[in-house]
Amino acid sequence: MNRRPFGACGFFIYPYTLLNMFSFSKSKSSSNKKKSKKSLFKRVMAWLHLWLGLASGIIVVIVSITGCIYVFENEIKDFIEDWRFVEPQEKAFLLPSQLVTIADKAMKGKHATSVTFGEKEDAAIVGYFIQKKEEGKDKEGKGKKEGIAKNDSEKGKTLEKGKAKGKGKEEKPKKRRSGVFTSIYMNPYTGEILNIKSVSRTDSPDFFRWILNGHRALWLPYDIGRPIVGVAVIIFVILLISGIVLWWPTKWIKSIINKSFKIKTDASFKRVNYDLHNVLGFYSCIFLFFIAVTGLVWSFGWWSKSLYWVTSGGKPLVENRESPKSDTTHVKTFELSTVDRVLKNIAKENPQAAGIMISIPEKPADPIGAFVYKQKNTYYNMDRYSFDQQTLKEISIKTPFSGKYIEANIPDKIRRMNYDIHVGAVLGLTGKIIAFFASLISASLPITGFLIWWGKQKFGKKTVSSPKVAAKAIPIAKPKQVLEKELSV
């Protein structure tokens, strides 16, 4: 058996083998290089963005869609509820006392709590708040000067009601009153009742109240649903920040910039879906940040106080839900005509007002409240007054919402703007349209993000093995001595 010399074979075989080995190691090192291009910070951001997004996605979708609808509450109501408007007439409105007298008869003895006048073509609204009986019973004992603390650990301790210092501050904030608010829409020129509408927080037939319940508490009891929504919104703020970090182009060159700012509509579904998530998320990010930050004010008290602390440069938020008190030393019975005088004075001082609401006192200590709306469906620049129900002397109270808007300091103005920033009304109709589309994009982000993640998974996919390629025969050159020997034979 003739054995061919190995040296000549090696000369031709080794370069081919070494070339393959070199190219394989080169591709392996380049792929590792690509993987290691992302910094640890970006990898952490990507991990947070993925799993926090999957955890909070469904809540973000619900809150965003309900927010889209609620933005245009007043505009939709104006369109479908014709009883909100009347034919303008060249004569003065009826007095509040006249409208209330008519409305009280329709409500069978119940007493009105407010009267609202709008512009010439707007219906007047007489409001009634009917409190729940359970809460009414609880309130019967609140007129006493001393009360026993409810907490078991504080049994036997007494707290003076009017104290501003000491243990009285440590009491839990009072819950908002719950009940049914009834609005009687009336023709302000004739007193004709146009419509009666009742709304409550829980069992209300009103569509927009139902939408708001979903937006703020996922249709759960508020004590349960509101913190869940709040946590989801905090996560959403983190997702906005991490999203910008992941979106940020590695190099500011044309090809990369186009991918970051433009949607490639003629590409595959996966690419279009990625662009929708990436590009729309960037464009809506700043608007969604303000919507989320202002929305958290209604979820957590600590957030509300912290936000005011930041905007005021370290000053605490004064939250006083107690109304200012009228002088109870007067034994004179309250007369409804006093409300007429308040309205005349306020209307004279604010001839350009878009609306004025007057609250009617229920108890001897209650003041007469006056709310002056400078623009229709906008609340931040509203002026709020309180008057003694007997002397009509103005009573001041230190909260961000009391007094004239123009006289408020900057942090108080920002706090007054909170709702209007949240729904975009601070910029008028344009701002509402921006808030609507931003919320719509917000609802799409968890969906497009989920599709991106799902597309990268291999659930149920069969791994296709690469076809075996037959090895090509490599021609081996024969040594010179062997060639000469074969030729001589």
pLDDT (tens digit per residue) in 145-202: 333 334 433 433 333 333 334 444 434 445 556 788 999 999 999 999 999 998 887 7
Does 2 or 70 have the greater pLDDT score?
70
Q: Which residues pair with 385 in a beta bridge?
A: 370
Domain boundary among 374, 397, 420: 397
- Is residue 294 domain-shared with residue 414, that is, in the same domain? yes
Domain membership of residue 153 (yes or no) is no
Does the pLDDT of residue 320 top 90, yes or no?
Answer: no
H/E stretch holding 434 reads helix 428-456
- Is residue 315 domain-shared with residue 331, that is, in the same domain? no
Round to whole Å and give the CA distance between 274 and 485.
70
Domain boundary among 397, 423, 439: 397
Tell me which residue range forms the domain holding 377: 87-136+176-188+327-397
Domain membership of residue 435 (yes or no) is yes
Neighbouring CB atoms inside 10 A of 263's CB total 14
Domain membership of residue 160 (yes or no) is no
Domain membership of residue 216 (yes or no) is no
pLDDT band at 61 (very low <50, low <70, confident <90, very high): very high
pLDDT band at 446 (very low <50, low <70, confident <90, very high): very high
**Using a CB cutoff of 8 Å and minimum separation of 24, what contacts does 431-435 make?**
432/71, 432/72, 432/75, 434/287, 435/67, 435/71, 435/287, 435/291
Domain membership of residue 161 (yes or no) is no
Provide the token pair at 168: 């009285």
Can you tell me the mean pLDDT for 427-433?
Answer: 95
Residue 288's pLDDT is: 97
Does the pLDDT of residue 269 top 80, yes or no?
Answer: yes
Does the pLDDT of residue 316 top 60, yes or no?
Answer: yes
Contact, 382 vs 374, CB < 8 A?
yes
Neighbouring CB atoms inside 10 A of 257's CB total 12
- Is residue 375 domain-shared with residue 392, that is, in the same domain? yes
Domain membership of residue 217 (yes or no) is no
3-state secondary structure of 22: helix
Domain membership of residue 100 (yes or no) is yes
Residue 6's pLDDT is: 44
List, in sequence order, the alpha helices (H) in 362-427: 410-416, 418-423
Q: What is the pLDDT of residues 338-369, one digit of tens each?
A: 999 999 999 999 999 999 999 999 888 889 99
Can you tell me the mean pLDDT for 76-97?
Answer: 94
- Is residue 356 domain-shared with residue 378, that is, in the same domain? yes
Q: What's the Cα-to-Cα distance from 199 to each of 127, 137, 175, 369, 476, rounded to whole Å?
A: 11, 22, 19, 22, 94
Can you tell me the mean pLDDT for 232-249?
Answer: 95
**Dihedral angle at the C-alpha atoms of 287, 293, 295, 298, nearest 10 degrees?**
-170
pLDDT band at 256 (very low <50, low <70, confident <90, very high): confident
Q: What's the Cα-to-Cα distance from 140 to each of 135, 159, 160, rounded to whole Å?
A: 9, 17, 16
Does the pLDDT of residue 45 top 50, yes or no?
Answer: yes
Can you tell me the mean pLDDT for 229-243?
Answer: 96
Residue 467's pLDDT is: 58
Does the pLDDT of residue 53 top 80, yes or no?
Answer: yes
Does the pLDDT of residue 10 top 80, yes or no?
Answer: no
Round to whole Å and give the CA distance between 345 and 357.
13
Does 57 or 130 have the greater pLDDT score?
57
- Is residue 280 domain-shared with residue 425, that is, in the same domain? yes
Residue 329's pLDDT is: 64
Average pLDDT of the chain?
A: 81
pLDDT band at 87 (very low <50, low <70, confident <90, very high): very high
Domain membership of residue 197 (yes or no) is no
CA angle 223, 288, 55 (to 5 degrees): 55
Residue 221's pLDDT is: 92
H/E stretch holding 369 reads strand 368-373
Can you tell me the mean pLDDT for 229-247?
Answer: 96
The string of DSSP letters for 84-125 reads GB----SSPPPPHHHHHHHHHHHTTTPPP-EEEE-STTBPEE
Sequence length of the chain is 489
- Is residue 333 domain-shared with residue 303, that is, in the same domain? no
- Is residue 260 domain-shared with residue 308, that is, in the same domain? yes
Percentage of residues in the chain with pLDDT exceeding 90? Answer: 58
- Is residue 439 domain-shared with residue 312, that is, in the same domain? yes
pLDDT band at 464 (very low <50, low <70, confident <90, very high): low
Dihedral (CA of 11, 12, 17, 18) sign: positive
- Is residue 246 domain-shared with residue 97, that is, in the same domain? no
Percentage of residues in the chain with pLDDT exceeding 70? Answer: 74
**Dihedral angle at the C-alpha atoms of 215, 220, 223, 226, nearest 10 degrees?**
-20
Does the pLDDT of residue 333 top 80, yes or no?
Answer: no
Round to whole Å and give the CA distance between 477 and 8.
7
- Is residue 413 domain-shared with residue 313, that is, in the same domain? yes
- Is residue 300 domain-shared with residue 332, that is, in the same domain? no
What total number of domains does the chain contain? 2
- Is residue 261 domain-shared with residue 287, that is, in the same domain? yes
